């Protein structure tokens, strides 16, 4: 296809609410605007209409008392812009020249001359670039994987749902009714309290109850979705067992249950350790959240320590290391900065060595020394 040249009075980059609003106003002024859309890209999660195209319920936009789906709202925006004569072009802009009028925009198939340029590119989620976060069917984006907890948390799919998290204190007795002779009432077990919500058995395999005993207790409820509880009189009652049960563990599943139990536990998802690229992105974001400048030499220093020690990276470690680095800098009265020395101190402390104020032991002798920095090891 030959490169085509378009001369436009007004060009708008961005097809979200801001871009389409600009299109409506300029089109009503008979300026015949051209609005440039982002092409559909499942992995970048872009589509004409902006981020609202990957948003479900929109409840904070005026005029919709019952809320409206994000894509439906953007369809109405677009229809209104089209009604007044807005032209649309779905292309990636590869180059711009804003040095003089007309402004020049280049795409794969067009050269666009614009007397007025409105940039309404808005915001986009900063994804990690890992498998699984793309939109369905390429991943779980919009189906459990979210880039905005404050946006999606209050949605009807999650709102007012019970979440019960059980940790290491769990015993087998906790799974049954508890009768109070003095108060003359029963306290419901945790699985009954989580009905209609989510029950998370955290650190499964490290509770006070053995995993096999807990699964033996729940073999029928997990399969039939009903539970049988005993009253203090000996009578048994049937109650619903209707919740999403999540077993979370870092132990080998073969050490926790046999195949008969594993089948009843439903889907199994393994959370793999982050790649070096994903670890780097997590580290950068955690540093940014703390106001710490994160440059390439500092990152390379951290990554090299993993390589030298043959240590497997974990997604929680950037946060924990940077917490220690922050504490060390504040304690020492220094500005927050990533230096090899501070990284080494935080690293040794985090991975097993405690801070020492005692004489330092060497293979030859014990050398008494006064430390200029009390946190130095």
Upper half-sphere CA count for residue 147 (Cβ side, 13 Å) = 19
Catalytic status, residue 152: yes
* Cα–Cα distance for residue pair 38/49, rounded to 1 Å: 8
Beta strands in 4-109 (DSSP E): 4-13, 34-37, 57-58, 68-69, 87-90, 93-97, 103-107
Both tokens assigned to 222: 């997990």
Q: Has 148 been annotated as catalytic?
A: yes
- Which one from 148, 213, 316, 373 is the annotated catalytic residue? 148
Given the residues 152, 202, 320, 323, the one annotated as active site: 152
Q: Is 237 exposed, middle or buried (0-12, 13-18, 19+ CB in 10 A)?
A: exposed
With contact defined as beta carbons under 8 Å apart, do 37 and 88 qualify?
yes
- For tokens 């859309």, the residue is 37
From the candidates 87, 151, 320, 332, give the one annotated as an active-site residue: 151
**What is the dihedral sign for C-alpha 240, 254, 164, 189?**
positive
Q: Which two tokens stand for residue 125?
A: 């989620």
Beta bridge mates, 200: 165, 246
Known catalytic residues are: 148, 151-152
């Amino acid at each position: 296809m030959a490169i085509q040249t378009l001369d436009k009075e007004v060009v708008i980059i961005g097809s979200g609410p801001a871009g389409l609003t600009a299109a409506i106003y300029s089109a009503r002024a008979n300026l015949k605007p051209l609005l440039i859309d982002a092409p559909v890209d499942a992995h970048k999660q872009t589509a004409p209409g902006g981020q609202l195209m990957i948003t479900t319920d929109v409840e904070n936009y005026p005029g919709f008392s019952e809320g409206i789906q994000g894509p439906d709202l953007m369809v109405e925006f677009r229809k209104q812009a089209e009604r007044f004569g807005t032209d649309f072009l779905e292309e990636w802009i590869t180059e711009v020249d804003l040095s003089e009028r007309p402004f020049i925009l280049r795409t794969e198939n067009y050269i666009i001359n614009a007397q007025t340029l409105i940039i309404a590119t808005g915001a986009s989620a900063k994804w990690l670039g890992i498998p699984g976060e793309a939109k369905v069917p390429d991943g779980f984006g919009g189906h459990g994987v979210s880039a905005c907890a404050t946006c999606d948390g209050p949605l009807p799919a999650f709102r007012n749902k019970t979440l019960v998290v059980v940790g290491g204190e769990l015993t087998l007795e906790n799974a049954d009714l508890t009768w109070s002779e003095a108060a003359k009432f029963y306290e419901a077990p945790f699985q009954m309290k989580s009905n209609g919500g989510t029950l998370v058995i955290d650190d499964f395999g490290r509770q006070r109850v053995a995993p096999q005993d807990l699964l033996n207790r729940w073999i029928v409820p997990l399969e039939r979705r009903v539970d049988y509880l005993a009253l203090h009189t000996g009578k048994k009652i049937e109650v619903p067992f209707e919740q999403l049960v999540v077993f979370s563990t870092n132990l080998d599943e073969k050490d926790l249950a046999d195949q008969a139990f594993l089948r009843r536990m439903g889907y199994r998802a393994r959370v793999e350790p982050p790649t070096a690229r994903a670890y780097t992105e997590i580290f950068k974001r955690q540093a940014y959240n703390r106001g710490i400048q994160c440059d390439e030499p500092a990152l390379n220093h951290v990554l090299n320590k993993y390589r030298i020690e043959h240590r497997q990276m974990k997604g929680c470690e950037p946060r924990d290391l940077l917490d220690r680095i922050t504490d060390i800098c504040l304690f020492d009265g220094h500005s927050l900065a990533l230096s090899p020395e501070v990284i080494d101190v935080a690293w040794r402390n985090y991975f097993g060595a405690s801070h020492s104020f005692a004489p330092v032991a060497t293979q030859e002798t014990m050398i008494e020394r006064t430390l200029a920095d009390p946190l130095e090891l």
